[in-house]
Amino acid sequence: MKKKIVFIMNPISGTSSKAAVPSLIDSTLDKEQFEYEIKMTERPEHASELAAEARDNHADIVVAVGGDGTVNEVARSLVHSDSALGILPCGSGNGLARHLLLPMNLKKSIEIINACEIHDLDYGVINEYPFFCTCGMGFDAFVSMKFAESGKRGPISYAENILREGLKYEPETYTLEDETGTKQYKAFLISCANASQYGNNAYIAPQASMSDGLMDVVIMEPFDVIEASQVSFDMFNKTLNKNSKIKSFRCKKLHITRSKPGVIHYDGDPVMTGADIDVHMEEKGIKMIVNPFADKSVRKPNIIQSAFADFFNDINIVRDDIHKDIQRQSKRVGAISKLVQRKLNL
C-alpha cells in the first residue's frame, strides 16, 4: 500500500517564487511509493489547520514547504501522532532544516523524502507555545518582533534590524531555576535550544541535540562593540560555546523570571508574554524525516574563517594592551602628582 503524503505550501515564505515547486514534486517524488496532494496556505495559522486535517485523515507524512514559521505551524499539529514531519526548505533562514542537514536544493530534499527515514525527535514548549528549533527572550526576541513589524523578508533585512537596534538595546536581569537550583544573570539574550541554530547557519547552540531530551540554555552576557565582532564570528563558525561572553547549561525544565512582561519568540515568531516564563522539553514527541546520507562530521573552519578568528583575537589582544597601557599611564600620572604634591608641601 502506498504511503500518503500531504505537502502544505506557504506561497509567500522566503524571498523566491514557488511557482515551479508543484511540478518539481511531481517529477521527483517516487510515485510507486507515495500518493500525494498539495495544499496552499491562505492566511496565518492556516498551515496548522491543514496539517491537523491531514493528521486526522491518517497521512503518513505531512511536508512543510516554506520557512521556519511554516514548519512550526505544521509541526505543532503533528506532535504525539503517527504522522511524520517532512521539510522542503523555502524560507529565509531554514534553521530546523539546516540542523537536520537537509539539502537546501529542493530536488535533493524531495529525494530525502523518497528515502523516508523517520526518527522520533524532541521538541520544546515555552509558555504553551511549541518550538522545534529555538526559543528565547532578550535581544533575539526583540529583533524578531522588529523583523515581523518591518514586513521585509530575508537575511539582509534581519541584519539591518540587528545593526540598527543592537547598540541601543539594554540588557535585562533574569532569574533562572532548573533541576539543579537557581541562578541569576544580567543578559543580552537567553536562548533555549532544541536544535543548534537560528537559521542561515547562525549557531546559537553548536552542541545541541534533538534526541537527548534536554534543551541547551545559552546566556549571552553584555558585550562591547569590539566583542560583538567576535561573538558574531563565533556564531557563524560553530564556536560560540567557547566565547567568554557565553554561559550555557542543559536541563529538561526551566523557569525564568524577569522584572516585567515583554516579548519572547518561538522559532522566530514573537509574542508578548508575562514576567514569568516556563520552558520544558517533550522527549521523542514528534516524528521527522531525516537525511540518511548526511555527513555528520564536525565542520572545520576554513582558511578564511581561521584568518578572521586570528584577526579578532589580535583585536582583543591590542584592546587589552591599550587598556594596560592606560592603566600604566594612570599610575605614572598618579605617581607624578604625588611627587608634585610633596614638593609643594616642602
Where residue 41 sits, what CATH number does that domain have?
3.40.50.10330
**Residue of higher predicted confidence among 131 and 316:** 131
- Does 151 have pLDDT greater than 70? no
Helix (H) or strand (E) holding 307: helix 303-345
CB count in 10 Å sphere of residue 270: 19
Residue-level pLDDT at 294:
87
Please state, in angstroms and rounded to a whole number, the distance separating the CA atoms of residues 195 and 228. Answer: 23
Q: Please, is 52 exposed, middle or buried when counting C-beta atoms within 10 Å of its C-beta (0-12, 13-18, 19+)?
A: middle
CA 271, CA 114: separation in Å to the nearest integer?
36
Q: What percentage of the chain reaches a pLDDT higher than 70?
A: 77
Query: Tell me, what's the pLDDT at 12?
Result: 77
CATH assignment of the domain containing 169: 2.60.200.40
Instruction: Determine the Cα–Cα distance for residues 200 and 203; give it in Å rounded to an integer.
Output: 9
CA atoms within 13 A on the CB side of 188: 20
**Least trusted range by pLDDT, from 107-121, 153-167, 322-336:** 153-167
Please, are residues 129 and 192 in contact by the beta-carbon 8 Å criterion? Answer: no
| Mean pLDDT along residues 156-172 | 63
Residue 216 in any domain: the answer is yes
Cell of 271: 509574542
**How many structural domains are present in the chain?**
2
Sheet arrangement for strand 262-266: 246-251, 215-220, 189-193, 134-138, 262-266, 269-273
Cut 0.75: pTM above it: yes
Q: Same domain, yes or no, for 66 and 190?
A: no
DSSP for 49-88, please give it: HHHHHHHHTT-SEEEEEESHHHHHHHHHTTTTSSPEEEEE
Q: How confident is the model at residue 298 (pLDDT cuts 50, 70, 90)?
A: very low
Short-list 176, 155, 184, 175, CA closest to 268: 155
Average pLDDT over residues 3-25: 86
Looking at the fold, whether 79 and 182 belong to one and the same domain comes out as no
Over residues 131-146, the pLDDT tens digits come to 999 999 998 888 777 7
Q: What is the mean pLDDT of the chain?
A: 85
Statement to judge: residues 100 and 197 lie in one domain: no
Residue 224 placed within a domain: yes
Q: Which cell is 142 given?
A: 526583540
Would you place residue 306 in the very low, low, confident or very high pLDDT band (cuts 50, 70, 90)?
Answer: very low
Mean pLDDT calculated for residue range 257-270: 94
Assess whether 142 and 240 both reside in one domain. yes
Domain residues for the domain of 15 are 3-115
pLDDT value for 335: 62
**The pLDDT value given to residue 260:** 94
Predicted local confidence at residue 234, as pLDDT: 82
Task: Assign 310 a pLDDT band (cuts: 50, 70, 90).
Answer: very low
Helix axes 46-56 and 68-76, enclosed angle (nearest 10): 40
Residue where one domain finishes, among candidates 282, 311, 332: 282
Amino acid in the structure at residue 232: S
Same domain, 89 and 212: no
The least confident of 84-93, 154-163, 185-194, 207-216 is 154-163
Q: Where are the beta strands (DSSP E) in the chain?
A: 3-9, 34-40, 61-66, 84-89, 117-126, 129-131, 134-138, 172-178, 181-187, 189-193, 215-220, 246-251, 253-257, 262-266, 269-273, 276-290
Does the residue 309 lie in any domain?
A: no
